Structure 1
């Protein structure tokens, strides 16, 4: 489950998003990504919570990491993503830049956290 989480986040972040902006004009790629992100976060939350359930009895640290991933993905989906969308809608590039940087850092943290869990569970 954690490998699925890790792979899905890497593919979405570095594959799908990059592909959209290389294949479509920015005015089309942006709205498409905006529609896809809520689903991405549901995927992250679901995989992370399933990982918690599967690891809680064998490695509490891994379960805690996955629980933090789920919790911060929920916050990103419910709070950060709407703030990014509002900044985009109002043309506030500075706020968009700050919020977007925050979302990228959160996702990189999620990728690192899931990688750490994979390494812990493989040891």
Structure 2
């Protein structure tokens, strides 16, 4: 089970790295800013479902009937799944609302957008580090 869980985490890490390294830069260099934003906005819910699904699967595989005491890898995967669920359901809608208000001329909304975006990036980076630690520590 551990080998399968590790394979799921590697797939998750691949997706998490592919999106910001390959997809987002290509979108922003290929499309005008407004269309790029709309395209990425439509992709993020799917990206987050991918992350939630794979991290929850890895959690289940790492935990594998151990009982109520969570292993470290299972705990990390559960934290990734739950934090991603929160980002998808709570933070991203606030980021999107702030961006819409910013584009409509609300200067204060730009600060809210920047703060929310930085928080989402920080959470994603912490998730990446946590997943790398359970694979290579």
- TM-score greater than 0.5 by the shorter chain: yes
Contact 1:2 1:117 in 2 (8 A): no
Q: Which has the larger radius of gyration?
A: 2
Structure scoring higher RCO (CA < 8 A, sep ≥ 6) equals: 1
Name segments (4+ residues, structure 1) moved above 6 Å. Answer: none
Q: Deviations over 1:15-38 (max 9, x none)?
A: 111111111111110000001000
CA RMSD across the alignment = 1.3
Q: Normalising by structure 2, report the TM-score.
A: 0.84
Deviates more, 1:52-61 or 1:4-13: 52-61
Please list every run of 5 or more consecutive structure 2 residues that lacks an aligned counterpart in the other structure.
Answer: 1-7, 103-108
Q: How many equivalent residue pairs?
A: 120
TM-score (norm 1): 0.93
Give SS of 1:117's match.
Answer: helix
Equivalents in 2 of 1:112, 1:15: separation in Å?
19
> Corresponding residue for 1:34?
41
Q: Distance in 1 between matches of 2:22 and 2:63?
A: 31
* Distance in 2 (alpha carbons) for counterparts of 1:15 and 1:77: 21
> Which 10-residue stretch deviates more, 66-75 or 22-31?
22-31
Q: Which residue of 2 aligns with 1:49?
A: 56
